[in-house]
């Protein structure tokens, strides 16, 4: 039986997995992202990983790869975290391996989206996946297909501008969703509130991070709660705007902030319902299920569905 190989390439580690030809996970592991020799070091690392598992050309049904940058037709347009300019991932990997196998490549947020999509127990045609971490990312699956987008960025929902009065985002714009609803934003908003004199049971600004803010909000800290409410209201408003355009029945929330669980989901859903166009009300907002494994499952999905 042939195997599917999946790699989710990050700036520090490469999450790796082997699936059987039905998409059942057989083994997963992780190794440090090789950086020493530029672009090619990564591909030598992927080759070594495949060989260590004893896989040869005829054993491999296909390889699915996630990369932290815009991907269009198998080519990465640049990946800051890897120090990459434009890289033809498919071509480079086949050259490193020394043989031709089917290779499918996707933006990391997009393959995480199809990964989550592929493992839903209930059948669904379309969905939006949102990650709330250091930044805010997104991926869209429409009728079972990963939405790659014209520039390969897919759904860069973190850079939807929400206000004219916000701070400047890393992207250069002001008031991006990412500056208002990321884990980074939760910390910043809490620190700003405390510095302005708001009272909180978090005694020292040193202890402020997204987790402590959510924990204290759950325990009734009013300042933490007002930050959390603002973040959830803003996210629900953004999701309502997005779903006025794409009209999907399911929105999954992942990333570090999603560890806040149903406490977060209930608040976001309430704001969504208040702000959504009537036809799109009732779309379900749920927690993503796969955590850091979403990308490798997405890699397997790309192979099984031929990209």
Question: Would you say 45 or 135 has its CB closer to its own copies?
Answer: 135
Least Å from the CB of residue 276 to its own copies: 8
Binding site for its own copies (CB under 8 A): 70, 125-126, 138, 140, 142-143, 145, 147, 149-151, 153-157, 159-161, 171-173, 176, 237, 240-242, 244-249, 275, 277-280, 283
Please name the residue that has the structure tokens 């089917």. Answer: 102
Nearest CB to its own copies, comparing residues 3 and 159 = 159
Residue 294 half-sphere exposure, CB side, CA atoms within 13 Å?
27
Q: Which one, 148 or 293, has the nearer CB to its own copies? A: 148
Looking at the Cβ atoms of 147 and 216, the one nearer to its own copies is: 147
The DSSP element (H or E) to which 109 belongs, if any, is helix 108-118
Which residue carries 């908003």 as its tokens?
189
| Min CB(80)–its own copies separation in Å | 12
| Chain centroid offset of residue 223 CA | 29
Cα–Cα distance for residue pair 110/115, rounded to 1 Å: 9
Sheet holding 284-287, edge to edge: 145-146, 136-142, 127-132, 250-254, 284-287
Q: How far is the CB of 242 from its own copies (least distance, A)?
A: 5
- Residue 84 CB, shortest distance to its own copies, in Å, is 15
Residue placing its CB nearer to its own copies in the complex, 161 or 211 = 161
Shortest Å, Cβ 5 to its own copies? 27
Nearer to its own copies, 155 or 189 (CB): 155
Q: Strand order in 25-32's β-sheet?
A: 25-32, 13-20, 3-9, 60-67, 103-107
Answer yes or no: are the C-beta atoms of 130 and 177 closer than 8 Å. Answer: no
127 strand-pairing partners: 141
Please choose, from the candidates 144, 157, 155, 169, the residue with its C-alpha nearest in 3D space to the C-alpha of residue 237. 157
In whole angstroms, the minimum distance from the beta carbon of 223 to its own copies comes to 23
């Amino acid at each position: 039986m042939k195997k599917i190989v999946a790699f989710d390439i990050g700036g520090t580690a490469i999450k790796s997995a082997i699936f059987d030809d039905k998409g059942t996970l057989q083994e997963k592991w992780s190794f440090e992202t090789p950086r020493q020799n530029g672009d090619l070091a990564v591909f030598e690392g992927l080759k070594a990983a495949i060989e260590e598992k004893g896989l040869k050309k005829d054993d491999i049904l296909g390889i699915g790869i996630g990369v932290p940058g815009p991907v269009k037709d198998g080519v990465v347009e640049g990946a800051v975290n890897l120090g990459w300019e434009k890289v033809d991932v498919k071509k480079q990997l086949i050259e490193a391996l020394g043989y031709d196998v089917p290779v499918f490549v996707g933006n990391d947020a997009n393959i995480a989206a199809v990964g989550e999509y592929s493992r839903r127990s209930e059948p669904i045609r379309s969905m939006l996946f949102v990650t709330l971490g250091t930044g805010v990312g997104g991926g869209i699956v429409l009728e079972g297909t990963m939405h790659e987008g014209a520039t390969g960025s897919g759904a860069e929902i973190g850079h939807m501008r929400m206000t004219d009065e916000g701070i400047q985002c890393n992207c250069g714009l002001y008031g991006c969703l990412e500056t208002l609803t990321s884990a980074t934003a939760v910390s910043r908003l809490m620190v700003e509130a405390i510095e302005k004199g708001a009272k909180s049971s978090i005694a020292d600004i040193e202890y402020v991070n997204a987790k402590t803010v959510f924990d204290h909000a759950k325990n009734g800290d009013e300042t933490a709660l007002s930050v959390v409410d603002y973040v959830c209201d803003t996210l629900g408003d953004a999701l309502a705007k997005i779903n006025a355009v794409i009209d999907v029945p399911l929105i999954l929330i992942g990333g570090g902030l999603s560890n806040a669980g149903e406490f977060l989901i209930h608040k976001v859903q309430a704001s969504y319902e208040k702000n959504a166009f009537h036809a799109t009300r009732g779309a379900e907002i749920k927690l993503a299920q796969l955590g850091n494994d979403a990308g490798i499952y997405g890699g397997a999905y790309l192979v099984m569905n031929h990209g």
